[in-house]
């Protein structure tokens, strides 16, 4: 990856990929958007971003619905939901320059090794997004709050290898687009730390149909959240990643102060989209299991979410069938 004028591909132009991609294009970078259902609309009318940091419209964007028609890129951003990851073996190879990298901006654990199997470990970096946004309609994204990305290098089996030059290069592009960037020396540790928040709140918000403030206000779910967080910390430890005790307290206080928040999994659920159960709960659970550590509380959440997800997808299938007939 050269030091200047990188071009970007956005694989998955939704609430996250669309937002970051639009910001990068607005900052003067070449961004190529891969779309599926929203292709026609975006090809014609571009992207609209509502944001407390300033609304803007991009009347023309480089929109594609076929990776083979796209230029090869320096940075290929994976912004699909992890439930679509079975598509990656077909999508990534045609998009990536020989010295390009894939930046995985997804939730949960173990997508980087999956991507590494496709493009090689040395061509993968990871990013954790703290972003609150949703798609209003095709090509129209509303950014609500936050936006920081934590970037981390990937090496085989999540070995920590510090901060590389190419990570700095990507950071420069994002900062140009006014996206706050943090750097992680240890991507796996960062992913586990994010799971400390993501596992309890995503799972409980869907299972109990609750916002974060409701989960924090009830004494029983408050205890449950904290207990689950402790189990995530135990999971991290099974992968030799130590999360300090005060981190849990910090996350709880942070959530207490947050505006009432609908988690990404709850938004997916409400929109009848498949839930990211495997990436956010299944993969961490199995990682711990392979190290001989059981996470029984997370196991309960996992099974419940699989049930809820299956019921929802079944209902959605029926709804579509009836809609078509």
Residue 69 or residue 303: which is nearer to a second copy going by CB? 303
The Cα-based distances of 306 to 43, 59, 211, 281, 289 in angstroms read: 36, 40, 20, 10, 18
- Which parts of 219-278 interact with a second copy (CB under 8 A)? 220-221, 223-224, 227
CB of 293 to a second copy, least distance (A): 13
Q: What is the DSSP letter of 65?
A: S
Binders of a second copy among 300-319, rule CB under 8 A?
A: 300-304, 306-308, 310-311
Residue 210 lies near a second copy (rule: CB under 8 A): yes
Region near a second copy per CB under 8 A, out of 58-66, 171-179, 216-224, 315-323: 216-224
Q: What is the DSSP string of 271-324?
A: TTPPP-HIIIIIHHHHHHHHTT---HHHHHHHHHHHHHHHHHHHHHHHHHHHHH
* Catalytic option among 26, 97, 135, 194: 194
DSSP-assigned states of every residue in 109-142: SSHHHHHHHHH-GGGEEEEEEEEEEEEEETTEEE
Q: Is residue 296 a contact point for a second copy (CB under 8 A)?
A: yes
Is-catalytic flag, 306? no
**CB-based burial label for 147 (10 Å; 0-12, 13-18, 19+):** buried
| Residues in contact with a second copy, shown as a per-residue x/- string from 116 to 145 under the rule CB under 8 A | ------------------------------
List, by residue number, the catalytic residues. Answer: 194
Applying CB under 8 A, which residues contact a second copy? 204, 207-208, 210, 214-215, 218, 220-221, 223-224, 227, 296-297, 299-304, 306-308, 310-311
């Amino acid at each position: 990856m050269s030091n200047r004028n990188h071009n970007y591909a956005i694989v998955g132009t939704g609430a996250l990929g669309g937002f970051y991609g639009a910001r990068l294009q607005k900052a003067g970078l070449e961004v190529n958007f891969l779309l599926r259902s929203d292709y026609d609309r975006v090809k014609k009318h571009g992207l609209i971003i509502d944001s407390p940091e300033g609304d803007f419209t991009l009347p023309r964007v480089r929109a594609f619905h076929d990776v083979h028609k796209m230029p090869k890129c320096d940075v290929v951003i994976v912004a699909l939901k992890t439930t679509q990851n079975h598509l990656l073996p077909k999508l990534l190879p045609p998009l990536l320059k020989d010295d390009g990298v894939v930046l995985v901006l997804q939730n949960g654990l173990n997508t980087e090794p999956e991507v590494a199997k496709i493009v090689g470990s040395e061509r993968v970096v990871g990013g954790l997004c703290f972003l609150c946004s949703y798609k209003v309609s095709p090509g129209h994204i509303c950014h609500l709050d936050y936006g920081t990305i934590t970037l981390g290098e990937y090496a085989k089996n999540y070995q920590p290898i510090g901060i590389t030059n190419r990570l700095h290069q990507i950071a420069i592009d994002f900062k140009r687009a006014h996206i706050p960037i943090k750097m992680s020396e240890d991507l796996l540790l960062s992913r586990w730390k994010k799971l400390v928040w993501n596992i309890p709140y995503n799972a409980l918000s869907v299972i109990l149909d609750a916002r974060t403030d409701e989960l924090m206000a009830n004494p029983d779910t408050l205890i449950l959240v904290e207990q689950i967080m402790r189990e995530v910390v135990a999971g991290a430890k099974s992968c030799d990643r130590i999360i300090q005790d005060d981190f849990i307290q910090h996350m709880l206080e942070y959530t207490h102060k947050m505006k009432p928040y609908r988690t990404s999994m709850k938004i997916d659920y409400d929109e009848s989209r498949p839930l990211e159960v495997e990436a956010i709960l299944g993969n961490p659970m199995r990682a711990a299991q392979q190290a001989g550590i059981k996470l029984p509380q997370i196991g309960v959440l996992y099974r419940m979410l699989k049930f809820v997800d299956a019921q929802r997808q079944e209902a959605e299938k029926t709804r579509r069938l009836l809609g078509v007939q």
